[in-house]
Amino acid sequence: MKLSLTSWSLRGLTLQEAAGLSNLLGIGALDLGYFYRPGLDREALIADPDATADHVLSLGVALPNLYHLFGTTLADRNLADPSHRERNEADFRQVARFAKRAGLETLFVLPGVINPGQDRASALAESAESLRRLVAISAPEGVQLTVEPHVHSYLESPTLVLDLLDRVPGLKLTLDYAHFACLGYRQEEIDVLAPHAAHVHLRQARSGVLQCKLSLGTLNFGAMLGTLKAAGYDGYLSIEYVHQDYMDGQHDDVLTETIDMRDCVREWLA
């Protein structure tokens, strides 16, 4: 298992500075996204994926993952809304091309929300159909598609996640235990998802709180890492402390918590 940073954690840095900080911290890997100052230009990537790939390959860090958001919000063009499938698939073909050229191991997308007129079951069914089509695009490029279950999506329980994975062969997870811990699930209830992870996010959490200081949450990272190892996971562990309005994530020193999490993982791996 290897560490990475998420570029959207470092919202005030340029992309080059974020890569440099990752190297300075001895991590040497950076997850890419479209957010804040270090974010990639999504429209430019879709218009010319090869040029964007060549740009990120010059950063001097490993590039494990891209977080692709189809619209501008959690709901905009979300995968549980079938009216956007054709446009989403067209964009995703370009994203998959970018990922292949840049040597990314995984892409991650969000599963979608419960749209007007839907319940969880119908949102899951529509999302599964969208994800089957995206897997058919990414798999021939040798890029693993993943989905991240998250608070405020339709996919808010381990049981629903397993249902989705059964419906979409070839789909794997970007697994963030914090989203489930925030919703009140015990860690052992989340562990069932570890065998399906292709990418992992790390941050501390507790019931009702998506992100908190390492010393103030309930996630047992030694146990989590042990579960991942037992499941055969050998991919990236991306530290994802953020400073953003979503779920009141504005109160932690991102750099300090990133370093503390880095040291926590290094101690366990040693």
Mean of per-residue pLDDT scores for the chain = 96
Position 202, amino acid:
L
The whole model's pTM is what?
0.95
What CATH number does residue 38 fall under? 3.20.20.150
Q: What is the pLDDT of residues 12-51, one digit of tens each?
A: 999 999 999 999 999 999 999 999 999 999 999 999 999 9
Domain that holds residue 87: 2-269
Q: What is the pLDDT of residues 137-150, one digit of tens each?
A: 999 999 999 999 99
Number of domains in the chain: 1
